[in-house]
Structure 1
């Protein structure tokens, strides 16, 4: 995960991006957890909600982006770490990690192509009777993503962005089935939010802070402005503003809350 991230651009729509986290957290009924971990914490604004809710817990925020962690360090009451969740999910006998009572990952797993294979390892980090809750986008067949994919596949861009990371996710059923097979109790659902955005090219502002960022970074400086100009125009056509300048962005998200059995022998990892 070598892409660099811009916390300010990411926070341009902080309220809209934060609502799924709040909705996810509302379905985690843990009362007095000792250790709470946020994998892919970003700039830490949402991790702070974990510290507020479980004030007696040790709360840890982990992100692979040094830029995000640097911004997160302004939030007090949380321990911040730069780290890759893929390493965190792998068995490591040399690492004496405390069992995690609540493990949260919000809009992060979609950046790891093999994340379905990592779920058993992540469940293994959760204490018996603990909770594993995550949310991933499920809107990759929407114009906000397909336009970028189609445009990036054309000359002169294709040769430069071939290796750029592209987010992906699975169906709620896929996640639920895997976690059920691990012996967990599972609550899985999906929600389509209708975000009302304003400002110049708001959909471009949204995607350029997240899903489209690796593609934009992969382009050379002399091509990026041309790509952005074409991308903006196509997004304006796909998401036209109304007479008041408002744009409605449908955004489907997938939620999973799993509770690990109270005895570890019930989980096959």
Structure 2
């Protein structure tokens, strides 16, 4: 389960990569715009503002997120992006911080683009900070004897969950696209006692929470918080500054 309120606690930080991604999409009058993994719909509304005449299609695998998106005025529906296929009039596809959860997403990208018209746009970004302490400690703890058996079958995000910009550029070029690929390391200013723990609780820790009972979850979370406070101490003034790497790719089908 996804908790929209936990996820949206960092809405400002999570929205900037979406805006940076869309700044490189130059579609002028698309017929259909698709938000693959629309989440709570707060960013999907930006697509409606930009292309008000387009058919806006929004989907997410989380019923909780779809309910929140509908409450935000987005006509979203529940679906797995792995099962999605583009309609013939699809001119823009956006995937924001979703594909890292889909192991076979590289193959999916190729299939999607093969079924999209010439001139169509595909824009994606994925978090790529899985070697940072924020995610390294999750993997480290999951492999410790205390947790290894309970978490053995849980899908955790790892460095190999995503490609680097060159990897995505090669995939998109092979699909017959002009490509713009890059990476950015943001420096997020967070506040609170355990801001990094709260950040990952809304995303990377979600599968751990789903697997563990309440008592085990609190034990895991407490120990992880201790390690994260050591790795990300507050700066003078009380803020915690967190580097966060993301990989972007924008492609236009020739």
Please give the TM-score of this superposition, normalised by the length of structure 2: 0.96
- Partner SS state of residue 209, structure 2: helix
Structure 2 gaps of 5+ residues are none
Question: How much has 1:247 moved relative to structure 2?
Answer: 0.4
Cα gap change, 1:200/1:125 in structure 2, threshold over 3 Å: closer, same or farther? Answer: farther
For 1:127 and 1:15, locate their aligned partners in 2 and report how far apart those are by CA, in whole Å: 34
Deviations, residues 17-64 of structure 1 (Å, cap 9, x unaligned): 000000000000011111000001100000000001101111111100
For 1:145 and 1:58, locate their aligned partners in 2 and report how far apart those are by CA, in whole Å: 37
Please give the TM-score of this superposition, normalised by the length of structure 1: 0.90
Of 168, 172, 175, 1:182 maps to: 175
Question: How much has 1:155 moved relative to structure 2?
Answer: 2.6
Q: Post-superposition, which runs of at least 4 consecutive aligned residues in structure 1 deviate over 6 A?
A: none
Deviations, residues 128-149 of structure 1 (Å, cap 9, x unaligned): 2110000001111100011010
Question: How much has 1:165 moved relative to structure 2?
Answer: 1.5
For 2:115 and 2:248, locate their aligned partners in 1 and report how far apart those are by CA, in whole Å: 20
Structure 1 gaps of 5+ residues are 90-95, 262-269
Of 105, 108, 111, 1:118 maps to: 108
2:79 corresponds in structure 1 to 83
Q: What pairs up with 1:43-62 in 2 under 5 angstroms?
A: 43-62=40-59
Of 19, 24, 29, 1:22 maps to: 19
1:72 corresponds in structure 2 to 69
Deviations, residues 187-209 of structure 1 (Å, cap 9, x unaligned): 00000000000012000000010
For 2:116 and 2:33, locate their aligned partners in 1 and report how far apart those are by CA, in whole Å: 10
1:171 corresponds in structure 2 to 164
Question: How much has 1:73 moved relative to structure 2?
Answer: 0.1
Instruction: Indicate yes or no: 2:129 matched with 1:139.
Output: yes
For 1:127 and 1:43, locate their aligned partners in 2 and report how far apart those are by CA, in whole Å: 28
Question: How much has 1:75 moved relative to structure 2?
Answer: 2.4
Instruction: Indicate yes or no: 2:245 matched with 1:252.
Output: yes
Question: How much has 1:179 moved relative to structure 2?
Answer: 1.0
For 1:125 and 1:104, locate their aligned partners in 2 and report how far apart those are by CA, in whole Å: 15
**Number of residues paired by the alignment?**
251
